[in-house]
Amino acid sequence: MKPNSFIISILLVTALACSTTNLAENLVPSGGVLYQDFFSDPQSGWGELSQDPGSSGYINGAYHFLVNQSNTNIWSHPGKLFTDTHIEVSTMPVSGPFENQMGIICRLVNDQNFYFFTISSDGFFGIGKMINGKANLISNTEMQKQNAILTGNQINILRADCIGNTLTMYINNVLVSSVKDSEFSSGDVGILAGTSEKTGADIYFDNFMVFKP
């Protein structure tokens, strides 16, 4: 186990448009695609950020985060609104410390309130929620070691299911945790990256998919 670094994070947020209702959620059958982005179009709505603590934006057909400040997390979201979702994304660190953060966001009400599903490149994971700008894990009191995570500079496929009051996380098709929480019922989706004590987390995301459960 290792400490929940989200509690001590300095939170740096990308500025993006407000969420809009996605009518497809009522029309798409179960298992269908509600939203997808392969990050090949820099105008697809995720926004870009460049500040001293870090940066985020489109590069080489992927979405990239570089976090240059310790205990800092950056996240981005496209400005959508969903209720129940099955979210998948591929993520890979290309350089920086393996004690990093990379993951999925669901039910983002605003940049102070959402659920997150995160892993680190040294093999730990957690499910948590941000409430009024304060983040806490709800899957456990600390990040947990998980053998399903491919450590080092390898690609991991993350999946987060937010269905009713149940939050379920899969890593490389392995179910690793399922918890219940009723704080948020709908909101935006997104991705996040961050650091613990060491700086320079350099992380890419691609193949972001949202399915109707």
The pTM (predicted TM-score) of the whole model is 0.94
List the beta bridge partners of residue 212: none
Q: What pLDDT, in 10s, does the model give residues 179-211? A: 999 999 999 999 999 999 999 999 999 999 999
- Per-residue confidence of the chain (213 residues) as pLDDT tens digits? 565 666 556 655 554 445 555 677 888 999 999 999 999 999 999 989 888 889 999 999 999 999 999 999 999 999 999 999 999 999 999 999 999 999 999 999 999 999 999 999 999 999 999 999 999 999 988 999 999 999 999 999 999 999 999 999 999 999 999 999 999 999 999 999 999 999 999 999 999 999 999
Structure token pair of residue 135: 């983040």
Q: What pLDDT, in 10s, does the model give residues 23-32? A: 778 889 999 9
CATH architecture for the domain at 5-211: Sandwich (2.60)
